[in-house]
A and B are shown apart, each in its own frame.
Chain A
Amino acid sequence: MLLRHTPKEIKERSALVINPAKTCQPVGAMYAALGIHACMPHSHGSQGCCSYHRSALTRHYKEPAMATTSSFTEGSSVFGGQANLIQAIDNIFTIYEPDIIAVHTTCLSETIGDDITQIGRKAKDDGKVPEGKYVIHCNTPSYVGSHVTGFANMCKGMVDYFSEKTGEKKNVFNIIPGFVEPSDMEEIKRLVSAMGIEFIMFPDTSGVLNGPLTGHFSMYPEGGVTIEQLKATGDSTGTLALGDTASSLAAKTLDTKFKVPCEILDLPIGLSATDAFIDTLRKVAGVPVPDSITYERGQMVDLISDMHQYFYGKKVALFGDPDQLVSLTRFLLDLDMKPVHIVTGTPGKKFEKTIQDLTADLPYTVNVKESGDMFLLHQWIKNEPVDLLIGNTYGKYIARDEDIPFLRHGFPILDRVGHSYFPTVGYKGGIRLLEKILDLLLDRIDRDAKEESFELVL
């Protein structure tokens, strides 16, 4: 057994986290910053932070994840990181020539209290920021929130630094896609375009972290939201924020600063969340839903209907990020599956309440925990076994020990590919999720069937 020391008996822990279901803020900020065109994310801290985050992103996307670091030493930790950051800014613009440097902090620079706004201003005054280039930042103390919080903070940073209001309202919608895959961002763009709606999506990592092999390395691939687009977000008619935890902060900032109203929606994963997304788009933009989208929806419903017997009543344990978990839970309920254990490492009391409300009609109480960990999830599973586990790659240890079919979903996925190319959002993405879940459940039926009941047709 790989997790041989995990006991069934659950003891309350107040200090020790075991097998976390989250990581720290900066990696989320780095990911979001990669969704700006020609941007160099910069980690203001020790080299290790940047190295770890780049490694995690590279392993997940199987793509270059470029980012620089302030390379703190003991001296900079004592005297402050201003000199390091200014030198870094100079070097980055000289050597790597991005249009923007997007700085995020770390627990180190936050603890010593470096003021990035002031340092950025000094860099500019010292002539280290070339004309027409930008240094933006957000604060991402690793001891607050999680990687999702970091993503949210960098989205807010984009608004803080770029969004402008010219006074001329445009029939354009801002879309903040949430901490999802490049393929998901691409799919959201396809759906919104199909509805004939003009939009600005930020951040947008499609075309950055799922690029082709051409024989030429490009530090700044074609994808990513542009500075012009970011500036224009203040003139948009409204903002759709997908995923409360990842996207609402930037959306609300646009509302407060520029009176751009916002709708905060669940990530469009699964039937009802995608329905809500499309229906909201239709209403806010005042456009009809094209037949092509209704057709895709119908295909998804067809598949649910065709295979309902295999989904019905299956117990599921899930872990990951709040926004994904809320939508996935709704989807499981759409399918008459039974979510029984749900854990996120990301703190926030709202999460438990949302899940409890969603599952209020179930004839049992769902185990749900924010600031939880995978050790607790595993213990819950030992006490009440499940038919399916959904979560990031780290779940494979539980899945193997407990012999549970395992669907990889979320961040990070280190041992499988596909997530960069095939979305799980929208109806098409929902169909892919259904296919994956079915593959797992049906493979299990095939594996466990007695010879006489081993069926050709399922």
Chain B
Amino acid sequence: MESTAENITYSKESIEELKQDILKKYPTKVARKRAKQIIINKIDEGDAVPEIGANTRTVPGILTQRGCTYAGCKGVILGPTRDLVNIVHGPIGCSFYAWLTRRNQTRPVDDNDENFMTYCFSTDMQDSDIVFGGEGKLRQAVQEAYDLFHPKAISIFATCPVGLIGDDIHQVAREMKEKLGINVFAFSCEGYKGVSQSAGHHIANNGIFKHVVGEDDTVKEGEYKINLLGEYNIGGDGFEIDRILEECGIQVVSTFSGNSTYGQFANCHTADLNTVMCHRSINYVAEMMETKFGIPWIKINFIGAKSTAKSLRKIADYFGEQKLKDRVEEVIAREMPEVEKVMMDVRSRCEGKTAMMFVGGSRAHHYQELFNEMGMKTLSAGYEFAHRDDYEGRKVLPTIKIDADSRNIEELEVEQDPARYKPRKTDEQMKALADQGYTFKDYKGMMPEMEANSLVIDDISHYETERLIEFYEPDIVCAGIKEKFVVQKSGVPMKQLHSYDSGGPYAGFRGAVNFYKEIDRMVNSKVKTYLKAPWQKNPELSGHYVWE
């Protein structure tokens, strides 16, 4: 019988048994901690879901997916800004590994436009710098970068030893800013801060908010101006979103931070709406911009064709003008037939297949939309570095305890800008929108949208992944490069959802089509029929071979 996604169900008991069996392998203390991060989903009234342990330390020795604070700051957030010279202050490795490996694409406007993304800058600290301090070398490196490139701005990133030896990178930045007459700013994003990349996202965004946002008050032309927050243009996702928004007549003032420039950040406060893609990495920027400049924010999602349509409508409803609403409908009507054609085609081969996703701070949620559209079911999912609100929804924010690791990360005190604060909507307009059921600053989280009894796992370990593959026998697993070949050795295709395995874009309408085709290719691959050689399938020789 052909199975369909709907009829693949697991009883609570069987999942509980799996969970307990997994925990058995761990030393008692570890098992106790992991038990809080391995949750059997249950949705109660008002989208209430069980509490999950998240944004807590990874246990030493556990094979984790997570990276460090520096990776989140330099690699993720500031990596995609093309006209910044990003100098990494530290031994060579940190800068080397963050060099071009994330696939955030950028498109300079012409041959003369600045683009430093192909370059890797480092102070390459040596043992003498560790012993005697590296401030002098850093100062000189900033000077050399300036002399060579005359960039608009230079940013400095701290690596682990910098914090330990006490180099004052912020002082160096202030001095060089004064001396060179360009913006120079620094990030204390030592790898050991926080518990994952997430801390680095926060440090990066705080830094941009403090040092860059609001530097340029030029109000650009455009009727419907938005910022796109938390979209990193992996594999050209941002290009596809920009294309769609442009066709709708919506102007993107800035993207944080895919295909971005320094100028976009400086000018972003002139937009009239903040739209948030990756809630995890940037919701606090949206909050701060609302407080300081009066720009409301909404959660949107351009992963999945239906979500894309829904997000466009949500943006149009915010501005409220019929002209825009009509144009959005026209664009959706134009784009959907091709999407639906491919969707129906792949459904004939993918319907009923299953996936597991352990990735990111929003992707494990967003990509379930695309799998749903293909008739595929996500059996188990979790984030690498998200917080409880990304799982359970923003309603739990007041109940999240601030632990020592989170306290390390600076929370900016933001006030209304006396000159530039301007509410984008009157109270009446906001009330009218609310009456229609329009929600601002709302994110329901992943768990309320997953089925009961699906297994939600935070900061999944290698051991757990292996056990889950054994139990669920999924048709595809999505995670990152470190997990890629581990999973594939088991004969299960594995799609990278950080770097897209050099594919993409997967956002928007054309992205959805790309994704359907890619997953169709993978889950219906012939490779699994090749795993055994003929003599392994039939090892017994019966009698001698007789040549005719």
A residues with CB within 8 A of B: 1-5, 7, 11, 13-20, 22-27, 42, 45-49, 51-56, 58-59, 62-77, 84-85, 87-92, 94-96, 106-108, 111-112, 141-144, 146, 211, 213-218, 345, 375, 394, 397, 414
Contact = CB atoms under 8 A, between A and B. Distances in A.
Given A16-B123, A16-B144, A77 B192 contact: yes
Given A66-B63, A88-B60, A51 B118 contact: no
B116 A16 contact: no
13 contacts: A5-B116, A16-B121, A20-B124, A22-B96, A48-B94, A65-B482, A72-B192, A76-B192, A92-B61, A107-B91, A107-B130, A142-B92, A217-B489
Interface of B: 25-27, 30, 57-71, 87, 90-101, 111, 114-116, 118-127, 129-130, 137-141, 143-145, 147-149, 159-161, 163-165, 190-193, 195-196, 404-405, 408, 461-463, 466, 480-482, 484-491, 527-528, 530-532
A62 B130 CA distance: 35
Given A71-B57, A217-B490, A19 B120 contact: yes
A55 B481 contact: yes
Contacts of B461: 95
B192 A55 contact: no
Nearest to B486: A64
Nearest to A54: B482
A69 B64 contact: yes
A45 B63 contact: no
B503 to A, nearest CB: 14
Contacts of B159: 107
A77 B163 contact: yes
A55 B197 CA distance: 15
Contacts of B94: 24, 48, 52
Nearest to A93: B61
Contact of A108 (B120, B140, B191): B191
Contacts of A3: 118-119
Contacts of B124: 17, 20
Contacts of B149: 5
A56 B97 contact: yes
B69 A87 contact: no
Contacts of A25: 93
Contacts of A58: 481-482, 484-485
Contacts of A87: 59-61
Contacts of A71: 57-60, 62, 64
Q: Which of B57, B118, B193 has the most CB of A within 10 A?
A: B118
A141 B527 CA distance: 43
B8 to A, nearest CB: 22
Given A58-B482, A62-B485, A213-B489, A24 B93 contact: yes
A122 to B, nearest CB: 15
A235 to B, nearest CB: 34
A383 to B, nearest CB: 16
Given A51-B66, A54-B482, A217-B486, A15 B97 contact: no
A52 B485 contact: no
B121 A68 contact: no
A19 B26 CA distance: 43
Contacts of A69: 60-61, 64
Contacts of A94: 25-27
A73 B527 CA distance: 42
Nearest 6 CB-CB pairs, A to B?
Answer: A48-B68, A24-B93, A88-B61, A91-B61, A46-B191, A15-B140
A56 B57 CA distance: 24
A48 B119 CA distance: 21
Contact of B27 (A15, A62, A91, A143): A91
Given A16-B121, A16-B145, A66 B462 contact: yes
Contacts of B97: 23, 52-53, 55-56
A417 to B, nearest CB: 12
B63 A68 contact: yes
Given A5-B148, A15-B138, A52-B97, A215 B127 contact: no
Contacts of B527: 213
A317 to B, nearest CB: 18
Nearest to B488: A213
A73 B195 contact: yes
B165 A73 contact: no
A395 to B, nearest CB: 12
Given A22-B96, A88-B60, A95-B26, 19 more contacts: A1-B111, A7-B148, A15-B138, A16-B87, A16-B121, A16-B141, A17-B124, A20-B120, A23-B93, A47-B191, A48-B68, A54-B482, A70-B60, A95-B61, A108-B164, A143-B129, A143-B130, A215-B489, A215-B531
Nearest to B115: A4
Given A46-B192, A52-B67, A91 B30 contact: yes
A45 to B, nearest CB: 7
Nearest to A26: B93
Contact of A111 (B63, B66, B100, B161): B161
A71 B487 CA distance: 23
Contacts of A55: 97, 101, 480-482
A395 B491 CA distance: 34
Contacts of A20: 92, 95-96, 120, 122, 124
A46 B58 CA distance: 11
A68 B61 contact: yes
B119 A18 contact: yes
Given A19-B120, A52-B93, A65-B482, A215 B528 contact: yes
A271 to B, nearest CB: 33
B127 to A, nearest CB: 5
Nearest to B96: A23
A59 B25 CA distance: 30
B466 A217 contact: yes
Nearest to B498: A55
A66 B140 CA distance: 39
A77 to B, nearest CB: 5
Contacts of A218: 489
B488 A47 contact: no
B260 to A, nearest CB: 18
A300 B4 CA distance: 59
Contact of B92 (A1, A23, A49): A23
A389 to B, nearest CB: 16
Nearest to A97: B25
B489 A106 contact: no
Contacts of A88: 60-61
Nearest to A9: B148
A141 B160 CA distance: 12
A71 B69 CA distance: 12
A13 B144 contact: yes
Nearest to A42: B61
Contacts of B487: 217
Given A17-B123, A91-B60, A51 B68 contact: yes
Contacts of A394: 99-100
B137 A111 contact: no
Contacts of A46: 68-70, 160, 190-192
Nearest to A112: B164
Contacts of B61: 42, 68-70, 87-92, 95
A77 B64 contact: no
Given A24-B96, A68-B62, A73 B68 contact: no
